[in-house]
């Protein structure tokens, strides 16, 4: 009888532990989901980790960082540097980990790319498709194959890439994957960005 009671008690403890763990995971997912109202971020052209939004004047970004070296020497703090990247059809301004793309001749940002982190997710083999989907359970998404032209921010060509896409009007948020590894995050205005 004692053995049966001990076995029953062990099963109860295991079920309680499993229940607590799934509650903790659910709470973590709820926190991420509550932190980031995707529809609001997408429609406003904003990524939480990015300083600027879609539609920001390219010149205003350049002006803000024009004197970064002088500021650093004057106040002793680190200031992000800006790098200008020229392409065939588009150009970009890289500020820290974020790249702000605009088409040749355009004066406003049309695409924001995160190559290190975005919406709280690290770009790495540790972030899979299910991590994204579970973090935003109440948002409608599509999963699709990706053309290499959509990966304009990655040098060279990658094969077998897919995206989890969230759309709000003309703005589209893509989490790009190769196999099940997150390789980049892109928020793009499909009306002002025609390079697909």
Question: Residue 94: inside a domain, yes or no?
Answer: yes
* Spatial contact of 99 and 153, defined as CB atoms under 8 Å apart: yes
List the domain range (segments joined by +) for residue 183.
Answer: 50-189
Ranges of residues in the chain with a pLDDT under 70 are 1-34, 67-80, 196
In a domain? residue 62: yes
2 in any annotated domain: no
30 is a domain residue: no
1-to-8, 10, 13, 171 alpha-carbon distances in Å: 11, 14, 18, 65
CA 183/CA 126 separation, integer angstroms:
10
Residue 8 lies in a domain: no
pLDDT at 196: 61
Quickly list H helices, the chain.
2-35, 38-44, 58-64, 68-75, 129-135
Task: Report if residue 106 sits inside a domain.
Answer: yes
Q: Is the pTM of this model over 0.85?
A: no
* Residue closest to 128 by CA, chosen among 160, 175, 87: 175
Any domain includes 126: yes
- Closest by alpha carbon to 101, among 85, 81, 125? 85
Give the residues across from 167 on adjacent strands: 172
How far is Cα 13 from Cα 192, in angstroms, rounded to an integer?
57
Could you tell me if residue 12 is inside a domain? Answer: no
Identify the pLDDT of residue 5: 43
The per-residue pLDDT for 3 is 52
User: What's the rounded Cα separation, in Å, for the pair 13 and 2?
Assistant: 16
Number of domains in the chain: 1
Which pLDDT does position 36 carry in this prediction?
82
């Amino acid at each position: 009888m004692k053995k049966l009671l001990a076995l029953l008690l062990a099963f109860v403890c295991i079920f309680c532990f499993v229940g607590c763990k799934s509650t903790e995971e659910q709470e973590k997912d709820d926190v991420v989901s509550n932190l980031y109202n995707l529809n609001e971020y997408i429609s406003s052209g904003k990524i939480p980790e990015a300083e600027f939004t879609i539609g920001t004047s390219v010149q205003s970004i350049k002006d803000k960082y024009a004197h970064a070296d002088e500021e650093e020497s004057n106040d002793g703090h680190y200031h992000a540097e800006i790098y200008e990247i020229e392409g065939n059809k588009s150009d970009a301004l890289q500020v820290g980990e974020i790249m702000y793309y605009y088409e040749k001749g355009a004066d406003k940002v049309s695409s924001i790319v995160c190559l290190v982190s975005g919406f709280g997710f690290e770009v790495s083999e540790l972030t899979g498709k299910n991590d994204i989907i579970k973090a935003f359970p109440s948002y409608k998404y599509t999963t699709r194959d990706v053309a290499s032209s959509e990966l304009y921010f990655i040098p060279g060509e990658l094969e077998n890439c897919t995206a989890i896409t969230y759309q709000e009007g003309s703005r589209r948020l893509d989490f790009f994957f190769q196999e099940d590894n997150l390789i980049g995050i892109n928020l793009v205005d499909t009306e002002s960005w025609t390079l697909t």
